[in-house]
Amino acid sequence: MAKKITDSYGHGVQQVGYEKVGKKRLFTDPDADIARKHFHTKSRRMINKTTTLKEAVGKFVHNGCYFAAGGFGSNRIPVAVLHEIVRQKKKNLGFAAQGSTHDLQILLAGQCINRCDTVYSEGLKSGGISTVYRNKYKKNEIETTEWSNATLAWRFKAAAMGLSFLPARSLLGTDIINHSAAVEIPCPFTGKKYAALPALYPDVAAIHVHRSDIYGNCHIMGIAVSDLDLARAAKKLIITAEKIIHNDEIRQSPDSTAIPYYLVDAVIEVPYGAYPSNMPYKYFTDEDHLMDWMKTEQNEDDYKRFIDKNIYNCANHWDYLNINGGLEHLNNLRALETLTDRR
């Protein structure tokens, strides 16, 4: 059986033997040659890329572009960048919501997104479902295409590999595949059925890391989640780092480099840049703050006041940290993370 499929980007490809196509829209072009063309032009110069949040977001996050955030839900997410995106009132962004909870919550606060590759994105697992998220979805204000954690991670991996798709053995047989943009294909060697996952090349991604040098060579501690592939898949990459280190430190342990400089377009030093999410070995999640956020969502006035106070009225991430207890509070989160009793 042969049928013509045309995807949202007009690639009319002759598919042989496919059986089912996910009915939802593909938000990014999976074409590997288009991606190569971009990566061909990406600078290889090892130059000082340090900048400010304001400049980086202003320069690389454009209205309507497709954005992805590193980390996982409430763990090592690039909060400082997300707040800046809201402050700069970026609109109509596409978003890859992998295990997304608080990152999506921040972007929803700014009404920044209108389409979303979604996996698990309904607020906080321990805290229930975000009211704002619920309302947006009920009103169909955000167009969604469904995936699963593995399939979205492999979509980044396909892009990182410079491909247009990867086959996988999940989504199959369930209703999820109908709400995705995957295609069922037979294996040319065994004849067994696979879900073909289109590569995801985001226009821009932001990742918060432990250490980076001024060129963008980065160290990440703890789990990488999907960030190694995301860093390679993204056309532009903004790095926020807990600490800027000397290039000598990178060269002393090259095996620790998770992201090499040529992937990176901007580097910003933002201590506690993942607060209130968990930064491995540095500080634990501020559960109380996240619960407050969830609670205020239930009342429109409270919610507006809360977002004004925590995002719009903050000039930068320092302001946000300071109004939420400052260094003393952060030190308590450090004790929680390292499981040490401190007197």
Query: How near is the Cβ of 41 to another protein at its closest, in Å?
Result: 28
How big is the chain by its Cα radius of gyration, in Å? 20
3-state secondary structure of 154: helix
Query: How near is the Cβ of 76 to another protein at its closest, in Å?
Result: 8
Separation CA 273–CA 124 (nearest Å): 19
Separation CA 65–CA 95 (nearest Å): 9
Closer to another protein by Cβ: residue 227 or 265:
227
Query: How near is the Cβ of 16 to another protein at its closest, in Å?
Result: 16
Closer to another protein by Cβ: residue 56 or 199:
199
Query: How near is the Cβ of 154 to another protein at its closest, in Å?
Result: 7
Query: How near is the Cβ of 223 to another protein at its closest, in Å?
Result: 3
Element (H, E) at 95: strand 93-97
Partners of 124 in the β-ladder: 128
Separation CA 214–CA 266 (nearest Å): 9
Separation CA 110–CA 239 (nearest Å): 21
Closer to another protein by Cβ: residue 15 or 51:
15
Closer to another protein by Cβ: residue 61 or 75:
75
93-97 vs 66-69, strand pairing mode: parallel
Q: Under the rule (CB under 8 A), what is the footprint of another protein?
A: 71-75, 98-99, 101, 118-122, 125-126, 129, 134, 137-138, 140, 144, 146-151, 153-154, 157, 168-176, 179, 184, 192-195, 221-229, 278, 280-281, 284-285, 287, 337, 339
Closer to another protein by Cβ: residue 14 or 140:
140
